Amino acid sequence: MSRTPFQLLVFLLSICSIVVAEVDVTHDLLPRQSPSANDVNSPICKNYAVVANLSTIALNSTYRAAFLRSSPLGTFPAREILDVQAPKLAAMMMDTQLNRRCGNLSQAAIDGAAANLTAGTVLGLPILDAPGIDPANVAMPIVGIAIFLMFGGTWLAL
């Protein structure tokens, strides 16, 4: 059996890939943050992150309006989601053990909300345009005059 140089090269590379795959590098990996880096994935930290994100949206009128306008649930269910979480944030921000364990997730939520609003999203939803007529539109004075005539005419007819 004659082998071509290309087949030998592929054979050598396959042997090298097996050798590289068997190297155990888990002992060489170090945590990127603090020794409590794994605590961020705990349920209490995830709850703190959810409360911080929803409260940041609930307590800022610009973020809140964008979320209520863009939510597929409708205004009242979306408002209820925000209003339930907002009172919980103050206690979580003042809990030193929670902040030491999870980090300052409220500041991360504030920074993330600002970045998302700049990118055109709020809580993962694309921000929709406000419904209604643009005040600079030609139809706006026509609609205003029609409303004035209907209500004014009714008043004058009495």
Question: Each residue of 39-98: pLDDT tens digit?
Answer: 667 888 899 999 999 999 999 999 999 999 999 888 899 999 899 988 998 898 898 888
d(CA 67, CA 133): 20
pTM: 0.60
Q: 138 in a domain, yes or no?
A: no
Q: 110 in a domain, yes or no?
A: yes
Look at the chain and report how many structural domains it folds into: 1
Percent of the chain past pLDDT 70, that is, above it, reads 82
Q: 65 in a domain, yes or no?
A: yes
129 pLDDT more than 90: no
Q: 93 in a domain, yes or no?
A: yes
Give just the sign of the alpha carbon dihedral 114, 56, 54, 129.
negative
User: Whole domain around residue 79: which residue ranges?
Assistant: 38-127
Predicted pLDDT of residue 38: 59
- Please list the residues that pair with 63 across neighbouring strands: none
Q: 42 in a domain, yes or no?
A: yes
Predicted pLDDT of residue 24: 55
Structure tokens at 2: 């004659």
> 């003042």: which residue's tokens?
94
Q: 115 in a domain, yes or no?
A: yes
Predicted pLDDT of residue 41: 77
